[in-house]
Amino acid sequence: MTTIDPVARAEELRAAIRYHGHRYHVLDEPEIADAEYDALIRELEALEEWHPDLITPDSPTQRVGGAVSDLFAPVTHRRRLFSLDNADTIDELRAWEERLVRQVGQTPGGYSCELKIDGLAVSLTYQDGVLTRGATRGDGITGEDITANLRMIESIPLRLLGAPPALLEVRGEVYMPYAAFEALNLRQAESGERMFINPRNAAAGSVRQKDPTIAGERQLAIWIYQAGLIEGGPTLATHGETMEYLASLGLRVNPASSIVPDLDAVIAYVEAAERTRNDHEYQTDGVVVKVDSIPLQEELGFTARAPRWAVAYKFPPEERTTRLLSIEINVGRTGAATPYAVLEPVFVGGANVTNATLHNEEQIRVKDLRIADTVVVRRAGDVIPEVVGPVLSLRTGEERSWTMPENCPFCGNPIVRPEGEKVARCSGGLSCPSRLREWLAFFAGRSAMDIEGLGYKTIQLLVDERLIADPADIFFLTPEAFDGFEGWGDVSVANLMAGIDAARDRPIARLVIALGIRHVGPKAAEEFASVFRSIDRLVTATEEELLAIDGIGPTIARAWVEWVAEDENRALLEKFRRGGVRMEDPEPEAGEVSDVLAGVTLVVSGTLTGFSRDDAQNAITSRGGKATGSVSKNTTALVVGENPGASKVARAEALGVPVIDEAVFVEMLERGRQALG
């Protein structure tokens, strides 16, 4: 075992902290994630606690991080802007309260719980109600004068309302809402400029522009969270009252804050905040807890770095840096070749991440990702992990750019990308084992034929053992085929056979969906089925006949006609028939189709894969249902696609309205309310 030399380690940590501190605070170009920077500081603090003789006056622990840049005029804050100590666990929160109680001899009797906004701290000074100065925090003592830029932010009043005090200094967090961040990055990419890594960097970069119109264009906003100084105004007894007072002056105070009686209630707030951390229109990275009573705050005072009366509970980080080891491709059910990143494993957003989708070649180019880059990886909530971008300053010159391979790694056939299309495709058809596997998984999936017992692992086995070469082969499987397969006893084989048998009798729309034809999604399949009622009639339908159907446009009509024009596709349909799959729907009884959703009210949020917004609405209303825009207690269910509105989901959950995915929605279009189980 090697022992660590504390002197050398302290120097090493100081150098690293100075370097990264400068990149973060002065250049706005951090190359490590905040959590990693914090870890360096914490390690140094711990080391200095054990070896106080190692502390030097210029150690980064001896001041609040940050340096003053020479781009803007320095301003000395009237009162110092302190930083906050962190608590990473609930136990650390309890330890924080124990320290308070020890110092003041009582439990504080009330805490303010607030979301910790991930933006940048600013100080605003109002003299006789007029905004006279706006500054960055800087090192807490001296900041930068960014008044001109802050004046461009709509939520910062230039003049206060009501009867403002003679002098008021407030602190708050300037941030960039996600929507503005995404729009900004889109513009940056389109104009060939560098994209921002996250909303905080984008906000910081925006307020430190020489040209204030840029800050104005970027839709920044502010939440005010503290009064620094009030002269010639009321004397306030609690933080809560102070915030109410500031709000009454027209300052923007976050309504998500809450005054709670004790630490148990703080913990409940923290847990709820962590669960819903991605439901806001802005990025949050924790909860700030403050003692509510101002006399108690004064009694508790400050350490060198931070107030004793407040603490920041930090959520586990959702962004980390790691190495991009290689870029591989997946071939999906339509043959689309999708690149993904193979990463050095990194624990982020509460999970170990080793792979992340890269969408397409274009994205890799726009982000300028190269193999061997150090990259920022983001995993927020249940959203699939994403490679945000490379850390350019860590490039060594050894990195290699990537291009789509010429041949499919699964079947060796050429990968082609038609002019003007973003997506490259394997040309191998069903001879490509990857494509076959993905198609089968989709075919058997809940939104298609819904074959119980036929999951990904089983499909993999059946493909590997060459028992299945196309989806119709599923219906020719016999129990004997499983003889000798490990883990396949009589019961599991019988269950699978029953699952397959049940799938033989699905409405024909399900079969049409399951064919996985590009552009022919659930909505089109339902329309086809309701008009033609049989696969045979659909096969002979002309493009004109299809176009005559409400909601079917030329892309869908052509896609279907071209698909059935292929001999092998028609042969596949015949094979389904031979396999006992239903090829016709019974004629509807009068009124049956139109009122399956009578009395049902649905709200759709986010992007569905098989329906445009209008399609989904039509599908609901044409079945006698109601489609509305907001969730209420009268809503039957909330249908969520990709990126649903967080407030809708939260409201549905609060009201006990079922939240369903697209597969259940498709089922509701067939079976109405029953599909909710």
Catalytically annotated residue among 116, 290, 367, 648:
116
Residue 226 CB, nearest distance to ligand IVH (Å)?
A: 5
Sequence-ordered strand ranges (E) for 423-519: 424-426
Residue 146, Cα to own-chain centre: how many angstroms?
31
Minimal CA–CA distance to 108: which of 116, 99, 118?
Answer: 99
Residue 115 CB, nearest distance to ligand IVH (Å)?
A: 6
Of the candidate residues 153, 288, 311, 604, the single one contacting ligand IVH (CB under 6 A): 288
- Please report whether residue 666 would count as binding ligand IVH according to CB under 6 A: no
Q: Contacts with ligand IVH in 164-193 (CB under 6 A)?
A: 173
The string of DSSP letters for 199-219 reads HHHHHHHHHT-SSHHHHHHTT
Site string for ligand IVH, 294-313 (x = CB under 6 A): -------------x--x-x-
- What type of residue is 293? S
The DSSP letter of residue 651 is H
Residue 100 CB, nearest distance to ligand IVH (Å)?
A: 15
Question: Which of 65/390 has CB closer to ligand IVH?
Answer: 65
- Please report whether residue 336 would count as binding ligand IVH according to CB under 6 A: no
Residue 288 CB, nearest distance to ligand IVH (Å)?
A: 4
The alpha carbons of the chain give a radius of gyration, in whole angstroms, of 30
Q: How far apart are CA 605 and CA 397, in angstroms?
A: 45
Q: How many CB atoms lie within 10 A of CB 646?
A: 17
The pair of structure tokens assigned to 145 is 């004068």
Decide if 626 is catalytic.
no
The string of DSSP letters for 564-625 reads HHSHHHHHHHHHHHHTT---BPPPPPTTTTTTTTTT-EEEEESB-SS--HHHHHHHHHTTT-
Measuring CA to CA, how many Å separate 117 from each of 133, 174, 316, 320?
22, 8, 14, 18
Residue 315 CB, nearest distance to ligand IVH (Å)?
A: 12
- The β-bridge relationship of strands 74-76 and 258-260 is unpaired
Q: Contacts with ligand IVH in 219-278 (CB under 6 A)?
A: 225-226
Q: Segment contacting ligand IVH (CB under 6 A): 113-121, 158-166, 485-493, 667-675?
A: 113-121
Nearest residue to ligand IVH on Cβ basis: 121
Which residues pair with residue 226 across a beta bridge? 171
- Say if CB 220 and CB 236 are below 8 A apart: no
- Please report whether residue 82 would count as binding ligand IVH according to CB under 6 A: yes
- Please report whether residue 121 would count as binding ligand IVH according to CB under 6 A: yes
Q: How many CB atoms lie within 10 A of CB 216?
A: 16
- Please report whether residue 116 would count as binding ligand IVH according to CB under 6 A: yes
The DSSP letter of residue 532 is H
Site string for ligand IVH, 482-501 (x = CB under 6 A): --------------------
Q: Applying CB under 6 A, what is the total number of residues that bind ligand IVH? A: 14
Question: Which of 82/181 has CB closer to ligand IVH?
Answer: 82
Site string for ligand IVH, 129-168 (x = CB under 6 A): ----------------------------------------
Question: Which of 95/571 has CB closer to ligand IVH?
Answer: 95
Residue 166 CB, nearest distance to ligand IVH (Å)?
A: 23
The residues that are catalytic are: 116
Residues that bind ligand IVH (CB under 6 A): 82-84, 114, 116-117, 121, 173, 225-226, 288, 307, 310, 312
